[in-house]
Amino acid sequence: MKLTLNERYKRFMAVLAVGLSRPGFLAHFRHPGCWKMLTVAMCMALLGCLQAQELRGHVSVILLGATGDLARKYLWQGLFQLYLDEAGKDYSFSFHGAALTSTKQGQAFVAKVLESLSCPEDVAPDRCAELKGQFQRLSAYRHLATSEDYVALSKDIEAQVQHGGLREAGRIFYFSVPPFAYADIARNINSSCRPGPGAWLRVVLEKPFGHDHLSAQQLATELGGFFREEEMYRVDHYLGKQAVAQILPFRDQNRKALDGLWSRHHVERVEIIMKETVDAEGRTSFYEEYGVIRDVLQNHLTEVLTLVAMELPHNISSSESVLQHKLRAFRALRGLQKGSAVLGQYQAYSEQVRREQQRPDSFRSLTPTFAGVLVHMDNLRWEGVPFILMSGKALDERVGYVRILFRNQAYCVLSDERWVADQSQCLPRQIVFYIGHGELGSPAVLVSRNLFRPSLPSESWKELGARPGLRLFGRPLSDFYAYRPVREQDAYSVLISRIFHGRKDSFVTTEHLLASWGFWTPLLDSLAHEVPRLYPGGAENGHLLDFEFGGAQLCFSQQQPEQLVPGPGPAPMPSGFQVLKAKYRESPLISAWPEELIAKLADDIEATAVRAVRRFGTFHLALSGGSSPVPLFQQLATRHYGFPWAHTHLWLVDERCVPLWDPESNFQHLQTHLLQHIRVPYYNIHPMPVHLHQRLCAEEDQGAQTYASEISALVANSSFDLVLLGMGADGHTASLFPQSPSGLDGEQLVVLTESPSRPFQRMSLSLPLINRARKVAVLVMGRVKREITMLVSRVGHEPKKWPISGVLPSSGQLVWYMDYEAFLG
């Protein structure tokens, strides 16, 4: 018969009580040695009870999203590794896979995943089969969706603990679900599924943790309403990579050797790199929202940076001390400027987005798939030392590493053929935490032999064997003291173990998260409309993405010398606010870097508005759709508080034949990026009537004629004060396309047209109406416009072929606004 702990304790005390009640029982213990034996026996018995109680501490692990890709690839294996490491020690376990998948499907999925689990190489096959069988018996799947489901889960755990005579130690909830599901799950756990008094709760959260500082703050506040800070474990799986996890222990174990080296006096630069050969195909919906900086640099590489740059605590085993020092490193990061980064995008990306997300053929994404960022620290240790963070997709190799390159001020008289790796100070001096893949193919720690022989724990790291012919960072492997893990471990296995043991320093706290987003958000905002440099992908990239730095500025090493118009000297470089003024098609041209160009255009529009209101009492502004004007709208909304919006009428140059609330609608773009941020009378806003009588652009509804009548009634001589146009890659402007049967000439003011891309039906101002304007501004941005810009510069007045060539105000002014990418390439 199986006895519970309480029953065992009671039986022991009952036996002792019976003995004490019998006459003469204590007489056997008159000798001091006997009393000592009795005391020891009683202590051992009580200690045994306490140890048994500790051994029976029970931990329930609930994997939410148990049927997802992350769970299938990493998390179930990580939980199995936890069981392998902890089986037979202090705790018993149960593992609950949970998801929205139906019970039958979920059970089949989990059974298949459990069957595929594997043991480390050092576990004997028989022992592995035994442990795997145990883990399978301890694991189960359940449908978890409603609050009642969470109540039932909690009751099942309590019943299991009580039936086994166990003490509940704690519960781990692993959120392998999208962030939008966090709030409902958190509410259910907090209200129905917390463990009882004396047991801990640990909630594990996967990135993304917001999109910027504001969204991260909102998510943190929401979760903070359900969980305490010490209960939340935000996973950055890079912190579980063995080479990354070794950075602090390495610094600690080699403290004496590094104390004189780990500073601005000796470190030339630090490189934190993650390169990928794969592209974003199949993940463009995620990538369009986040891009490479949010996906990799803001989290993985920044966390690594803090491990390298933070002051080393006296006791690195203290989670609290480590986290405090990391936070100080975050706070020492110098703010980033637009010139701190270079961006790239592999050439096939936009086409992948168009295909996967059914975007129109004209769509061109601005999402970067490559980024290099220059970071500096404002403290005495690291002042002036560049930290280079770089990551990208579709590059020439898959590799990740942290490289600390030391200054070399030696001069060696002997020729380099006679330099000896562990003696010559002229050889490069570097420490590399090799995260994985690449030429080595495994994690490693590398230290130049002319620095010092490092100390690493022999039970977990061993020296790499000779690899003749292998070169890393331009040097043979023999130039380094090189170490690799005795047993390679997956990052998630490492982190799950640390969650179980409550090691908070391997996770992202709320303070760290907000500090990181506070550092990155201003840069992300400034780069939101930057056109990334296109690159072909793989080895064909050549030197196209090479970059160099000086001071706080970063720029590509290869400049594009091709120019639209002949002129001496190299293409202009960004250096503060500068605007190039020239001529294009015999009309004024203003060219600058995108941010400066938008600022200049916004200033010019405001100046035109102020003059018009002063002279006529109103300002009539007609705006084009598309992506190019979006940064202009944002600039006008946030930085032009003197704009006379109360006296401004806003018109549309063209519109897609979709409902006005449709995301494809030009009016919706205008509403999102401008109208909701300014105070303009609603009766001064004039959307195109494309949706009448529950139909879209039906000829019989006469929407075009209605808009023309409205213009004639409100705009003097139907002459807008300013019309903002764009130029398509095929030479179209507004929604006037090559060979358009209407709108390029004639008497009509507003016309219905056909686009070559979806949505096909459009409404547009006609070319004759546009040319009545007092001023027309044409905004052209991005390298994708380079070819059409060159072509249009050479053609005459051919609106049938190139509608943009027909823009020439009869009595007004035409001004071209082009960024350098479109103008100079």
In the block, residue with structure tokens 């929401």 = 222
Nearest to 98 by CA among 191, 172, 167, 159: 172
- Asked if 401 and 544 touch (Cβ cutoff 8 Å), the reply is no
Name every residue whose Cβ is closer than 8 Å to that of residue 412 and which is 6 or more positions away in sequence. Answer: 419, 424, 425, 426
Burial of residue 328 (CB within 10 Å: 0-12, 13-18, 19+) is middle
Establish whether 300 is a catalytic residue. Answer: yes
Nearest to 494 by CA among 242, 243, 186: 242
Distance between CA atoms of residues 614 and 618, nearest Å: 8
Question: What's the DSSP call for residue 301?
Answer: I
Name every residue whose Cβ is closer than 8 Å to that of residue 286 and which is 6 or more positions away in sequence. Answer: none
At 760, list the tokens.
């096909």
Core vs surface per residue 362-390: b (16+ CB within 10 A) or e: bebbbbbbbbbbbbbbebebbeebbbbbb
| Given 213, 237, 300, 376, the catalytic residue | 300
Distance between CA atoms of residues 65 and 70, nearest Å: 9
Nearest to 820 by CA among 474, 565, 542: 565
Whole-Å CA distances, 198 to 169, 195, 383? 7, 8, 47
CA torsion angle 358 364 367 371 (round to 10): 140
- Asked if 440 and 448 touch (Cβ cutoff 8 Å), the reply is no
Burial of residue 713 (CB within 10 Å: 0-12, 13-18, 19+) is exposed
At 690, list the tokens.
């494309």
Q: Is the previous residue joined to 759 through a cis bond, with omega within 30 degrees of 0?
A: yes
Distance between CA atoms of residues 543 and 278, nearest Å: 19
At 693, list the tokens.
């009588």
Distance between CA atoms of residues 512 and 298, nearest Å: 11
Query: Half-sphere exposure of 454 toward its Cβ, with a 13 Å CA cutoff?
Result: 31
- Alpha helices by DSSP H, listed for 271-384, are 284-292, 302-309, 319-331, 349-357
What's the 3-state SS for 155-215? Answer: HHHHHHHHHCCCEEEEEEEEECCCHHHHHHHHHHHHHHCCCCCCCEEEEEEECCCCCCHHH
Question: What's the DSSP call for residue 480?
Answer: E
User: 286-290 — which CB contacts under 8 Å span 24+ positions?
Assistant: 287/367, 287/369, 288/353, 288/357, 288/365, 288/367, 289/211, 290/208, 290/211
Nearest to 154 by CA among 202, 189, 182: 189
- Asked if 771 and 807 touch (Cβ cutoff 8 Å), the reply is yes
- Asked if 235 and 495 touch (Cβ cutoff 8 Å), the reply is yes
In degrees, to the nearest 5, what angle opens at C-alpha 309 toward C-alphas 306 and 312? 100
- Asked if 635 and 602 touch (Cβ cutoff 8 Å), the reply is yes
Nearest to 691 by CA among 666, 667, 651, 657: 657
Around Cβ 279, how many Cβ atoms within 10 Å? 19
At 766, list the tokens.
């006609």
- Asked if 363 and 353 touch (Cβ cutoff 8 Å), the reply is yes
Catalytic annotation, residues:
300
